[in-house]
Amino acid sequence: MISGPFFKRNNMKVLLVEDDAMIGENIQIALEGEAILVDWLSNGAAAELALLQHSYDALLLDLSLPQRDGIDILRALRARGDALPVMVMTARDTVAQRVLGLHAGADDYLVKPFDLDELIARLHALVRRARGRVEPLYVHGDITVNAITKEVTNAQEQVILSSREWAILDALIARPGAILSRHQLEERLFGWAGEVESNAVEVYIHGLRKKLGQKFIVNVRGVGYRIEKI
């Protein structure tokens, strides 16, 4: 099952795919204790659909899953060019199985049973490394955005953004040229305290355009929003 949204200040959201109810529940409780947003699914087919429809910062993936094997999910993810950080969690503890998972595209590996504190620490490290791979500077025309310092300038003048405007902009600059749906952008806003109104994305896009120019964020009608590639 997918858990409901938890409106906390942490801006990390992970997909947990684990068919063992006790293990999945313990991991979910531990992550939510760290203010990490968690969607928990128990079968491979549902996980594949979620990965296509939602935006996550990391994937915690069991390999032995009903309906679709974890290795197949991982291979499909990488085949379509998705660089989402993936930590494999499995009882398959032979060297050959670990190598298979890593070759399929896993970024890290934990063998069950594992310590939850270690899982949390390695998850944070995994996401930090992945975010560090993103080009810290986005420059297009007069606009410069530093993803690390969160500094934004327009024609060399500093631009002050609200936390929610930054959440939208941060999601867009992480994937220049890619179209993000309204729903994907709403999920970024869910990482901040308070409910998100039905027209929230449009409101914050409007605010960003006022500050950065009407043509900075492109509306792809019926699909979503994007910014130009660098």
DSSP 3-55: PPP---S---EEEEE---HHHHHHHHHHHHHTT-EEEEE-SHHHHHHHHHHS-
Report the run of H or E that residue 200 belongs to, with start and end.
helix 200-212
pLDDT at residue 107, rounded to an integer: 84
d(CA 210, CA 196): 21
Per-residue tokens: 86: 């993936």
CA 117/CA 50 separation, integer angstroms:
26
Sign of CA dihedral 198, 203, 206, 208: negative
Ranges of the chain with pLDDT below 70:
1-11, 92-99, 131-136, 148, 187, 190-196, 230
- Select the CATH number that applies to the domain covering 13-133 from these four: 3.40.50.2300, 3.10.20.600, 3.90.950.20, 2.60.40.10: 3.40.50.2300
Instruction: Provide the pLDDT for residue 59.
Output: 96
Closest to 76 measured CA to CA, from 98, 52, 41, 94: 52
What are the pLDDT digits (tens) for 47-77?
A: 999 998 888 999 999 988 999 988 999 999 8
Contacts for 223 with CB less than 8 Å, ≥ 6 apart: 179, 181
Q: Give Cα separations from 89 to 65, 148, 196, 223 (angstroms).
A: 11, 30, 33, 34
Query: Please, what is the Cα angle at 78 between 4 and 30, to 5 degrees?
Result: 35
The closest of 70, 64, 71 to 103, measured between CA atoms, is 71
- Which class in CATH covers the domain with range 137-226? mainly alpha
What gap in Å lies between CA 14 and CA 56, rounded to an integer?
A: 5
The 3-state DSSP class for residue 70 equals helix
Tallying the residues shown for the chain, one arrives at 230
CA 220/CA 217 separation, integer angstroms: 10
8-state DSSP, 197: -
Which sequence spans correspond to the domains of the chain?
A: 13-133, 137-226
Residue pLDDT, tens place only, 190-215:
644 445 577 889 999 999 999 999 99
